[in-house]
Structure 1
């Protein structure tokens, strides 16, 4: 992990800043790492409440104590990889699991198991497992979906506008699973990019949220921006950068005693959009430690999911001939099992 502190983050506390970057760790875990000297600023150990000055380099220092080096990237992945075997039966092909015999990475205890839902000469639709990021960033240098795509489809390496995310026109959060489309040709990349820009693509998610949502359906239209105080995304809060337009529609599928199952459709692609908007209406996504509402944080209950109860269930887009390509997957086993527990 190497992060350069930008000017816009000057004055933020180190632990709060990192909470917005390392969304798989709680602030308490981050503070523990800082105190243990596993996170350094400018090569030096500092306190969790260190105030950033701008221009510093924050880096993670691996600890070999007890032979159990913590893997920030792979939490829950071994289990998820197993569960994902039964997902992703798309309308065009039955999701064939890519095992590639021995080529599957086992570094840091991780195994990349990605299901192919549909293959076409211009695109590929996959079911991304929870626990892996879409493309490399300052924290995740390898074992990403892009790494897997390039190994399976080498031509993707030269597709798109950004060498760091070839063929990618949209993304899913690390702990979110579900349908994604990647371009295998530049023409398809441009076609998909235009459809996303004009909001012609249909993206529907299934989400379990805390509490009982009273309205049968609704729209959340609060603009989303990054909080300067916490580093996370916020909606409708004064202390943030100018928010960007965002729209999330939801519909109640089923109500439980303390939870609600929702069908969600997004019309914009802001960072953490669904998670932020659900917190805004007082119903945070189950398993979300970063955007949990205040009452859920007070309870401090761990659902034991090791991921978010959120997955991209449906994806529709047009191919180069103008024909609709429609895909839908089943609920992942871990999420289905959780529903059984709360009935």
Structure 2
């Protein structure tokens, strides 16, 4: 078998007993478990400096795992007839509401059911920037986050939108329901952020290094009976997991976000069922200058499930 060119060499220390394939997908979530198993079987993974080709190998605390990350292969992405909630569309771009549970773009082991699969079916002229895997994708939302996204149809439009995001000309407002009754009315959070040094699935606030991240939190309603608070959030930068990390750093993780500290045991069974595995984080307002016409466009989500139902439940069951 021809060896692939190595893109990155990563080393991890095991902090609890685990299966090797499960451990890799936890610390390197860009890979599906199926793809992690393939890498193990093809000899790209070492445990305590020895090659291992069995995905089910048991790891113990203190083991050292080395992952040789090969350059990605070009994925074959097929159009799929998946319904899209498109709010606006013209010859240059479209604005849509991404539902909770939908991955934005394909990755190894996740080549079906993504937003890109749906876009390729519904839109015939997406921007080529981003390559086969990310055509037209200017920015992204996490799988379990819902809300507004803009997608580019033309390369010049794509470049213009990316520049607007980079220069912070884009209006990005979110709504969030967080754990705990927030005591303050307003909070500005400015930190540096980067990947967690041990668990690569997570990002974290860093004292040194990383990238600057700025978020503003405004309290809209408090629900003491349910130990929850409804917030509006304005982000000035677009770091991965930014709101989730900043909310957690304030001691108020987003409802449903177990990665960043949500404690399900503190909430009723009914409320947990209503979450449907989603994070109560909604990109509800998005504004930008039209790259071709120059006019300001602004969009707002009027209804998004399960966020709308959860908020209604909190309000009506005081």
TM over 0.5: yes
Name segments (4+ residues, structure 1) moved above 4 Å. 12-17, 20-23, 37-40, 297-302
Partner Cα separation in structure 2 for residue 317 and residue 250 of structure 1: 21
What's the CA shift for 1:254? 0.7
Question: Aligned runs of 1:201-220 on 2, under 5 Å?
Answer: 201-220=170-189
Q: 1:244 to 1:56 in 2, by over 3 A?
A: closer
Q: Is the 8 A contact 1:41 1:56 kept in 2?
A: no
Alpha-carbon displacement from aligned partner over 1:110-137 (angstroms, at most 9, x marks no partner): xx33201101110011111111111111
More strand, by proportion: 2
Alpha-carbon displacement from aligned partner over 1:92-151 (angstroms, at most 9, x marks no partner): xxxxxxxx9xx63xxxxxxx3320110111001111111111111134122111111111
Partner Cα separation in structure 2 for residue 175 and residue 237 of structure 1: 24
What's the C-alpha RMSD, in Å, of the aligned pairs? 3.0
Partner Cα separation in structure 2 for residue 300 and residue 7 of structure 1: 41
What's the CA shift for 1:11? 3.3
Question: Is structure 2 residue 297 aligned with structure 1 residue 330?
Answer: no
Partner Cα separation in structure 1 for residue 214 and residue 10 of structure 2: 26
What's the CA shift for 1:204? 0.7
Alpha-carbon displacement from aligned partner over 1:193-215 (angstroms, at most 9, x marks no partner): 11011000001111100011112
Question: Secondary structure in 2 aligned to 1:312?
Answer: strand
Q: 1:300 to 1:259 in 2, by over 3 A?
A: closer
Q: Match of 2:68?
A: 55
Q: Is the 8 A contact 1:5 1:54 kept in 2?
A: no
Question: Aligned runs of 1:173-212 on 2, under 5 Å?
Answer: 173-212=142-181
Partner Cα separation in structure 1 for residue 289 and residue 114 of structure 2: 26
Q: 1:56 to 1:167 in 2, by over 3 A?
A: closer
Q: Match of 1:8?
A: 10
What's the CA shift for 1:12? 4.7
Q: Match of 1:92?
A: none
What's the CA shift for 1:237? 4.4
1:224 to 193, 196, 202: 193
Question: Aligned runs of 1:89-104 on 2, under 5 Å?
Answer: 104=81
Q: Is the 8 A contact 2:27 2:198 kept in 1?
A: no
Give the TM-score normalised by structure 1.
0.71
Question: Is structure 2 residue 311 aligned with structure 1 residue 339?
Answer: yes
**Which one has the largest radius of gyration?**
2
Q: Match of 1:311?
A: 282
Q: 1:338 to 1:48 in 2, by over 3 A?
A: farther
In the comparison of the two structures, how many residue pairs are matched?
A: 274
Alpha-carbon displacement from aligned partner over 1:256-308 (angstroms, at most 9, x marks no partner): 11111111111111111111111011000000011115xx2775977231111
Q: Is the 8 A contact 2:194 2:211 kept in 1?
A: yes
Q: Is the 8 A contact 1:17 1:230 kept in 2?
A: no
1:171 to 126, 129, 140: 140
Q: Match of 1:41?
A: 40
Partner Cα separation in structure 2 for residue 46 and residue 152 of structure 1: 43
1:19 to 12, 20, 26: 26
Give the TM-score normalised by structure 2.
0.77
Partner Cα separation in structure 1 for residue 268 and residue 95 of structure 2: 36
What's the CA shift for 1:249? 1.0
Q: Which runs of 5+ in 1 are unaligned?
A: 58-99, 105-111
Partner Cα separation in structure 2 for residue 204 and residue 342 of structure 1: 21
What's the CA shift for 1:56? 7.3
2:96 to 120, 126, 131: 126
Which of 1 and 2 has higher RCO (CA within 8 Å, sep 6+)? 1
Partner Cα separation in structure 1 for residue 264 and residue 310 of structure 2: 20
Q: 1:229 to 1:298 in 2, by over 3 A?
A: farther
Q: Match of 1:72?
A: none
Q: Match of 2:112?
A: 142
Partner Cα separation in structure 1 for residue 231 and residue 303 of structure 2: 13
